[in-house]
Structure 1
Amino acid sequence: MAPIPKWTDPIGSDILKQIISRRVPQWPDGLRDYQLENIPRVLAGQNILVFTATGDGKSSFYDIPLLVHRVVRKPRLISAFSAIVVTPTKGLADSIIHEAKEFGLSGFSYCHDNITKYRNTDLVSSICSCTKWQLICVDPERLATPEWTTILRDKEFLKNLVLFCVEEAHLIRSWGPQFRPYFEFIGATARGFIPEGVSLVGLSATCAPGPDTLAICHSLGMFGDSYHLIRRSNERTNMQVIVDPLRRKKGVSKYAKILEYLQSGRKAVIHVNTIPDCYDIYEFLWNHVPPGTSPLHRMQMYHSLCTDDYNRETFDLIDSDSKLQVVIATVAFTLGINRKSILDSISFGFPSTLDEFWQAKGRAGRAPNVICRGIAIVPEKNIDHAKAIVRAYHESDSTSLSVPKYKSKKKTKQTDDATSTMDIGKALFLAEETCLTGNINEHYGNPPLEISRLDCKQAGRKVYCSRCALRLLYHVNRRHLLGNTNVQACGFGYWTFGN
């Protein structure tokens, strides 16, 4: 008797190529090599953990298996199949469902609005049937509710479950302990309910080797040879990374620095740490919109106090409305939002970790043929504080250090992290004096390190970080530099918002 073909066999790869060629015309070049190697593992029910750059096609690890099941099951009239994707935010769930439509898949976000919308129907039974929606997005808190316990115990649902995916898996470690404790229970849910033979998939663009990776593996029950680890570089080769020190001047708003980056008219998202910062920047920019331009057309906000309809409208307008230039957003926009027209990601103030910063930069330059900018506007005292942290770090082996608080003659409320402990990855990045891109590569272990840790000139990068570009300006005429087709250093210009 001939052996049963497997998806991981060469014939399985050939079938996968044919399906992509016929059903995904938007991918004329087909799957990337790493996708072609590892998607068959998901189809075969194997567990995988994928760390790769934003925009490198992580969503294919649930979209393509669902598409394949739709194609191979249709002739047999067995159309019931489904996948669970655990998402940290409603915005990411909406983005995932929006992209799934491109593959002819229907999705459902199990959030408050949709639960309310379907309150007069048996929503649990609809999900368990696996016929109405192929992709179900749910956050960790609702995954722990009695309704989802019922779903995950339903034999029909489990029989038709294709995979269980954890998006932004790095949050299991960073958000789990205190901010959103239910993240720590995702692994227990997967181990307790998901049957053997159903693929468990973890995805992230920002997970450093060592303790961060081990924490995710332990939480999801991935040990030894029970899973496949795929670690690719998360370097953004089309992004100029910029750290711009903020030096306060008397009579000048601290937000004035933002104007320097907006005059170009490039579509930008401004990332802030708090909702009050959103409103403060919105009010400041309102007073600097060019004459004849409506602030309501030029700017939008995106945060948890905005209605879901407003946030969805903002999501749609980013790519569809040429008048919209600026989105001011909190962490709700940081994770997984995919809009191709954003060219600049500006962090006003630095988030608590390097992971959060690099996730935010992933919102810009999603189209590979554009040059984008990842900008951090950071108070100068925070950079000085980071340098003090790094000096202390090199004198000890601690992973989180603090230094004495800055002394001030005025008793003012400290609102930034310059007076508290600082994540060592963040401190090393802010204190970096040689190459910001090389620092990112070292932190995430991006291969090959013998090249990726080099500065932009030595590594032959086409886009120089602000540290390397500034050094180069001492040796090369500025006009010649910006006119060189082999080097694109797009910072250090004079930018203002309007006239």
Structure 2
Amino acid sequence: MLALWPVLAVLFLLNLVCVNAFQFYSPEGFALVRRILLSALPTFEPHTYQMDGVCKVLDKIDLVAVTPTGSGKTGFFFLTIIVMISIAANPSLCLGVTFPKDPAIVVVCPTNSIEQQLEENMAKLGITALMINAESVASARLQKEDLWVKARQGISMLILGPEQLISKGFQDLLKHEAFFDRVCALGVDEIHLLVMWGLAFRKAFSQIGFMRPRFRPGIPMIGLTATLLDDTKVADAVFNMLGVNRGEFYFIRRSNARHDIQLLFRTLYSGIDGLYFPELAWVVKTNDKTIIFGMTISLVFRIKIYLGSLLSPGVNRDLRIRTYHSINWPEENLETLALFRSDPQCQILVATNGLAQGNDIPVVKTVIQVGEPESAEMFVQKPGRARPGVSNPRAIFYISAIRRAKALKIISQSDAENAVDAKKDGAVAMDRSVAEIISARCKPFIQDQLYGNPATDSPCLCHTCRAAPPTPRPIHCCCSGCLPEASEEVYMPAPKQKKAPSDIPQGQRLTKEMKQVGTSRLEEFRLSIWFEASDVDTGLIPITEFLPDITLPGTNLLVIYRRP
């Protein structure tokens, strides 16, 4: 029996240590984290829900946070690493808790602009961050600098594009023992894109779930978004691709409704493949910072040309109206964002979906979508580009009568019936959740249903929210479904005039076959122009912009047809 005493004593001490192990998610832990953050960021006070999440992560518990656009989601990343750096530098702050001497967090972001913005914001906070994507690697190579070597030490936040997870540089970095040992947390921004993009056109997103096993066991994962649908299948797919298990992580879900933004749905009368968009003519008559989203680069280009044609002579069109899309050089897109933020003359930004995620542009007042939102996530993300604090922000969706009718039909049928219809008509597919949004009278109500938004959020006790609390749910909804518009901006086309009968005798009119031949010759002519054009000046311009399809029917096909 006496021989067992040493063993029992060790077990008792181990149990005592486990019982008394410091917990950050406790009154003492909250107080400690608050003191550390106040010392590091004297003018910054974290939101209460940020404190909740950060303390859980410090206890090595995974975090998934769903909070509205503009609510400071990236704070979960930098607040966590600030606490880790402080305790690593001064272990006496929290006896019994240790972090590596040079702790780091690895964050994956979906777009270059978000990566660039995060790196710049970290620099302002005094956090050493490094962005690595295809463009930054190529740029550094020209300077004979290896970013992967630079990331080994002294970098507190490593910001990666998804494609870098399968790069040789990242694989070699993980083999570097000093870097491997100092990574203390992993983060993924805009996790809803894991399914939206990862299963479609950006397969690298599917690698994020495999990232975690390549690091030390027990490293917590932080996943952030404003748009995680309240659908078990969708949520579980996101969790699976993120590498976390339901019930094993701390889940923060706050309402993603932005009650400060007015949601307006207007009718799109112009053809989305056309050259004229009189519904948007009012935009150039205001001075409001406005983002206009188009579903394709071609549409973005045509909207810019149309709005530019409305400007007065002498106005710098290329400054007043800018574009943001993947054909632009990355440097040009970054320059556009900088101009849009700081130059009052740069008023309108026409963009594709690459700008819909996470970009913080505090001056945006109006967001416009030409066509229906591509998904329920985009219905929330795009209006979210209008930032809190702007006076009377709004989001306007222009949707054609045909697509509205399509939405009504979709919600009246089963998924099987809709699948059959989709094969028959060949039109652009529409998700059921999008159809429900278009058809719903009250847009905020359907948003609450789709996302499981709580009726009320637990109040944030930080000084900022107490002094200027977020806009509460209004007693009377002001969306266009609940409060129809009476605005001069709403475009109404002139009544169609009855088409005058043709004065060309029946026997002299073009036949269907003649039209096909004439159109074919025009297409050949367009191709020849495109081939002969300068690669330097027009190499990135789509062929359809040389002679748009919409202009072909208006050409004198009879002359074209009769050419030898």
TM-score (norm. length: structure 1)? 0.83
- Give the drift of 1:79: 5.6
For 2:448, the aligned partner's letter is: N
C-alpha separation in 2, matches of 1:159 and 1:406: 57
Give aligned-pair identity as a percent: 23
- Give the drift of 1:290: 3.4
1:372–1:463 distance in 2 versus 1, CA, 3 Å: farther
Q: Who is 1:127 aligned against?
A: 151
Q: Who is 1:452 aligned against?
A: none
Alignment of 1:203 with 2:224, yes or no, is yes
- Contact residue 24 and residue 58 of structure 2 kept, 8 A: yes
Alignment of 1:444 with 2:439, yes or no, is no
SS in 1 for 2:262: strand
- Contact residue 289 and residue 348 of structure 2 kept, 8 A: yes
For 1:17, the aligned partner's letter is: R
TM-score (norm. length: structure 2)? 0.74
For 1:271, the aligned partner's letter is: F
- Give the drift of 1:269: 0.6
Q: Who is 2:263 aligned against?
A: 241
C-alpha separation in 2, matches of 1:13 and 1:231: 20
C-alpha separation in 1, matches of 2:119 and 2:43: 17
1:104–1:49 distance in 2 versus 1, CA, 3 Å: same
1:240–1:360 distance in 2 versus 1, CA, 3 Å: same
For 2:392, the aligned partner's letter is: I
- Give the drift of 1:263: 2.5
C-alpha separation in 1, matches of 2:330 and 2:134: 10
Q: Who is 1:403 aligned against?
A: 421
Q: Who is 1:152 aligned against?
A: 174
1:128–1:348 distance in 2 versus 1, CA, 3 Å: same
Identify which of 17, 40, 47 aligns with 1:23.
40
- Give the drift of 1:116: 1.9
After TM superposition, the structure 1 stretch with the greater mean CA deviation from structure 2, 258-267 or 322-331, is: 258-267
C-alpha separation in 1, matches of 2:183 and 2:450: 36
Alignment of 1:381 with 2:402, yes or no, is yes
- Give the drift of 1:368: 3.3
For 1:110, the aligned partner's letter is: I
- Contact residue 83 and residue 134 of structure 1 kept, 8 A: yes
Q: Who is 2:357 aligned against?
A: 335
1:72–1:370 distance in 2 versus 1, CA, 3 Å: farther
- Give the drift of 1:152: 2.5
C-alpha separation in 1, matches of 2:281 and 2:306: 10
After TM superposition, the structure 1 stretch with the greater mean CA deviation from structure 2, 234-243 or 195-204, is: 195-204
1:350–1:402 distance in 2 versus 1, CA, 3 Å: farther
C-alpha separation in 2, matches of 1:304 and 1:170: 21
Q: Who is 1:483 aligned against?
A: none
SS in 1 for 2:382: helix
Instruction: Please give the residue correspondences for 1:304-319 in structure 2 after superposition, counting only pairs within 5 Å.
Output: 304-319=326-341
For 2:474, the aligned partner's letter is: G
Q: Who is 1:488 aligned against?
A: none
SS in 1 for 2:113: helix
- Give the drift of 1:287: 0.7
- Give the drift of 1:405: 8.3
1:429–1:308 distance in 2 versus 1, CA, 3 Å: same
Alignment of 1:88 with 2:114, yes or no, is no
- Contact residue 47 and residue 227 of structure 1 kept, 8 A: yes
C-alpha separation in 2, matches of 1:19 and 1:461: 40
1:388–1:93 distance in 2 versus 1, CA, 3 Å: same
Q: Who is 1:478 aligned against?
A: none
SS in 1 for 2:110: coil
Alignment of 1:213 with 2:235, yes or no, is yes
Q: Who is 1:286 aligned against?
A: 308
For 1:442, the aligned partner's letter is: Q
C-alpha separation in 2, matches of 1:169 and 1:202: 6
- Give the drift of 1:401: 4.2
- Give the drift of 1:153: 3.4
- Give the drift of 1:322: 0.9
- Give the drift of 1:385: 0.7
Write the deviation string for residues 215-238 of structure 1: whole angstroms up to 9, x where unpaired.
111223322442112111100111
C-alpha separation in 1, matches of 2:298 and 2:82: 42
C-alpha separation in 2, matches of 1:72 and 1:399: 59
- Contact residue 269 and residue 344 of structure 1 kept, 8 A: yes
Q: Who is 2:551 aligned against?
A: none
- Give the drift of 1:461: 4.5
Instruction: Please give the residue correspondences for 1:28-47 in structure 2 after superposition, counting only pairs within 5 Å.
Output: 30-47=45-62
- Give the drift of 1:38: 1.4
- Give the drift of 1:372: 0.7
C-alpha separation in 1, matches of 2:450 and 2:416: 16
Structure 1 unmatched runs, 5+: 408-413, 450-457, 474-490
1:278–1:421 distance in 2 versus 1, CA, 3 Å: closer
Write the deviation string for residues 92-145 of structure 1: whole angstroms up to 9, x where unpaired.
11121122223211222212222123322343222122x0x2222212222112
C-alpha separation in 1, matches of 2:390 and 2:250: 31
- Contact residue 65 and residue 224 of structure 2 kept, 8 A: yes
Q: Who is 1:257 aligned against?
A: 279
For 1:423, the aligned partner's letter is: D
C-alpha separation in 1, matches of 2:290 and 2:350: 9
For 2:438, the aligned partner's letter is: L
Write the deviation string for residues 316-341 of structure 1: whole angstroms up to 9, x where unpaired.
12221111110111111111100100
Q: Who is 1:58 aligned against?
A: 73
Q: Who is 1:484 aligned against?
A: none
SS in 1 for 2:482: helix
- Give the drift of 1:78: 7.1
C-alpha separation in 2, matches of 1:442 and 1:105: 39
For 1:460, the aligned partner's letter is: P
For 1:445, the aligned partner's letter is: G
C-alpha separation in 2, matches of 1:348 and 1:189: 37
- Contact residue 275 and residue 302 of structure 2 kept, 8 A: no
- Give the drift of 1:188: 1.7
Write the deviation string for residues 442-484 of structure 1: whole angstroms up to 9, x where unpaired.
11111129xxxxxxxx9635761111111xx7xxxxxxxxxxx
C-alpha separation in 1, matches of 2:276 and 2:215: 51
Tell me how large the CA RMSD over aligned residues is: 2.7
C-alpha separation in 2, matches of 1:321 and 1:245: 32
Q: Who is 2:528 aligned against?
A: none
- Contact residue 239 and residue 463 of structure 1 kept, 8 A: no
Write the deviation string for residues 232-288 of structure 1: whole angstroms up to 9, x where unpaired.
110011100111111249xx9641111234423210111111111121111111111
C-alpha separation in 2, matches of 1:85 and 1:374: 30
Alignment of 1:372 with 2:389, yes or no, is no
C-alpha separation in 1, matches of 2:235 and 2:347: 37
- Give the drift of 1:163: 1.3
- Give the drift of 1:314: 1.4
C-alpha separation in 2, matches of 1:232 and 1:203: 12
